[in-house]
Amino acid sequence: MLKATYLFITIFLLIGCAKPTVHTEKELDNITPITAPAIGVPPEPSNLEMEEWLLPKKNSRVRGAPITHVMLHFTNNALRSPEDPYDLEEVYALFEEYEVSAHYMIDRDGEIYLMVPEERAAFHAGKGHLLNYQEYESGLNDYSIGIELLAIGTKEEMLSIMPEDIYNSISPTDIGYTDAQYASLKILLEDILKRNPLIQNDREHIIGHHEYAPVRKSDPGELFDWSRIGF
């Protein structure tokens, strides 16, 4: 029963990454103000070597604003499968099942997966706000590129979505981030910034999910070393 309760919470948080509720995405589209400059020419596709593993189109929408930010996340399937929390098929199924998404996912070996083309808005940010961008409130999906890293945070960060005994059963090697992930993320960010000149290379424009939604999100978390990507 306890595990079922945590599963419900996890599902709620997954849905929260994308939209306020399952049934109000179109309503949010209608009420979110889009006051930034015109979108202009869509970004050129990346020339980086990566696997294309596109999510269904229902997991994204046509982008309604220029790209000005990048948001970093972590994701895993630890609640359902703590012994193998990074099975790619299972993680992909979570995105597909709950209609959430990100543009890119980086696995533990540093492999980059394209999940949503940059010209479409992925459902990854959900409700939130940025101090200097009030017009982006609960609308950052349109302005941002989302990157998921396969990782697990600290016990304190994860206890809201899984019981302590499950967290304690996870291998220490599965906690935090890998050198390969940092290396690939740095290369991917350099490529994104090169193709999207409105994204400035600073911590105001390259952010964690917790900076946009601090009450309900902690990723990429305390274990993420921002200095590894130049900050």
Within 10 angstroms of residue 94's Cβ, the number of other Cβ atoms is 17
51 belongs to the catalytic site: no
Separation of alpha carbons 182 and 140, rounded Å: 24
Separation of alpha carbons 60 and 115, rounded Å: 10
Asked, as a colleague might, if the bond just before 220 is cis with ω within 30 of 0, I would say yes
Beta bridge mates, 133: 130
DSSP-derived secondary structure for 125-163: --S--BTTBGGGTT-HHHHEEEEEEE-B--HHHHTTTS-
CB contact at 8 A, 69 and 196 = no
* Residue from 49, 52, 119, 148 carrying the catalytic annotation: 148
CA-nearest of 140, 114, 146, 118 to 219 is 146
Separation of alpha carbons 90 and 215, rounded Å: 27
Residue with the two structure tokens 């890119």? 104
Asked, as a colleague might, if the bond just before 56 is cis with ω within 30 of 0, I would say no
CB contact at 8 A, 75 and 104 = no
Q: Which residues are catalytic?
A: 148
